[in-house]
């Protein structure tokens, strides 16, 4: 029996990036699409606990394209693996997102959360994003995803981590190479736009643009992507600041601090 991939995204089941991915990956594997009914950008790693999750078969031009879920990308991955597939999933692929997922902003990303959820569920997973603004040519990104997907399921070289992949929006022959990066510190510098509605209630719009932080490191995702490289960042579920752990544990000062906290 051939491989089965689970495809999802955060832009919604009718998004062009997902469709291009499907057409490319289905040449290698049986692809099950389970994606949000509506756009879920910036949902972070949300899951739906307090309401039922509606699921329906979505159709386009008369053919079924997959399951449309009234939920988040992480819901889609959980449901796809646990309920909607009649056999084991070999790989979760999330994307292709329109817009890069790099830097601090990764923690707001629905696209990336789907890959993280896949890894939590024990399935090799990748998120793939194209660094384009309003429109992009997903063709090269989809072909790259297909090769990487084949590698992930055949050789399983990256156990226990998902891959967060970003593709520059450049003609194929201008792409500089593939580099392993870490999640950098690029972030949105937001402002709020304050308004008053016709009934005199106050509301705010989150506004702002991506900018890179001043202290961006050379080996960060945003930096390498900006230079024209495809970036691959290994990620998992862990937010621990590991560099801090040892110093906190070994410092006498820290021990005093903590024991003093329990004094009455």
* Footprint of a second copy on 136-175 (CB under 8 A): 144, 147-148, 151, 155, 157-158, 160-161, 164, 175
Contact 67, 54 (CB under 8 A): no
Asked if residue 110 lies in contact with residue 89, where contact means CB atoms within 8 angstroms, the answer is no
101 binds a second copy per the rule CB under 8 A? no
The yes or no reply on residue 239 touching a second copy (CB under 8 A) is yes
**Residue 5 or residue 144: which is nearer to a second copy going by CB?**
144
Q: What is the DSSP letter of 86?
A: S
60 lines the binding site for a second copy (CB under 8 A): no
* Contact yes or no for 87/1 (Cβ under 8 A): yes
Report the alpha-carbon distance of residue 3 to residue 26 in Å, rounded. 10
Indicate whether 242 belongs to the interface with a second copy (CB under 8 A). Answer: yes
Q: Is 211 in the site for a second copy (CB under 8 A)?
A: no
Residue 189, interface with a second copy (CB under 8 A)?
A: no
Shortest CB 42 distance to a second copy, Å: 5
Cβ contacts of residue 32 below 8 Å, gap of 6+? 4, 5, 6, 7, 66, 67, 80, 84, 85, 89
Q: Tokens 């970003």 — which residue?
A: 166
User: Given the complex with a second copy, which of 60 and 237 has the nearer CB atom?
Assistant: 237
- Residue 41 binds a second copy, judged by CB under 8 A: yes
The residue range among 7-15, 21-29, 131-139, 244-252 that interacts with a second copy, by the rule CB under 8 A, is: 244-252
# residues contacting a second copy (CB under 8 A): 84
75 binds a second copy (CB under 8 A): yes
Q: In terms of CB distance, is 1 or 118 closer to a second copy?
A: 118
Distance CA 150, CA 139 (A): 17
Decide: 144 and 107 in contact? Cβ < 8 Å.
no
């Amino acid at each position: 029996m051939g491989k089965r991939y689970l495809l999802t995204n955060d832009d919604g089941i009718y998004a062009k990036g997902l469709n291009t991915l499907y057409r490319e990956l289905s040449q290698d594997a049986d692809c099950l699409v389970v994606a949000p009914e509506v756009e879920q950008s910036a949902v972070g790693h949300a899951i739906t606990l307090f309401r039922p999750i509606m699921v329906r078969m979505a159709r386009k031009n008369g053919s079924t394209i997959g399951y449309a879920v009234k939920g988040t990308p992480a819901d889609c991955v959980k449901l796809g693996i646990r309920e909607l597939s009649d056999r084991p999933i070999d790989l979760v692929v999330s994307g292709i997102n329109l817009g890069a997922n790099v830097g601090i902003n990764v923690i707001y990303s629905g696209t990336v959360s789907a890959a993280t959820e896949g890894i939590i569920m024990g399935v090799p997973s990748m998120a793939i994003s194209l660094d384009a603004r309003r429109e992009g040519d997903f063709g090269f990104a989809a072909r790259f995803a297909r090769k990487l997907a084949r590698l992930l399921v055949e050789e399983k070289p990256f156990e226990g981590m998902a891959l967060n992949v970003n593709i520059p929006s450049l003609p194929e022959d201008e792409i500089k190479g593939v580099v392993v990066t870490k999640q950098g510190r690029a972030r949105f510098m937001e402002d709020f736009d304050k308004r008053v509605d016709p009934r005199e209630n106050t509301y705010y719009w989150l506004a702002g643009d991506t900018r890179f932080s001043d202290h961006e490191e050379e080996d960060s995702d945003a930096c390498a992507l900006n230079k024209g490289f495809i970036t691959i960042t290994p990620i998992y579920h862990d937010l621990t600041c590991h560099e801090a752990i040892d110093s906190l544990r070994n410092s006498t000062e820290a021990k005093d601090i903590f024991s003093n906290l329990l004094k009455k």
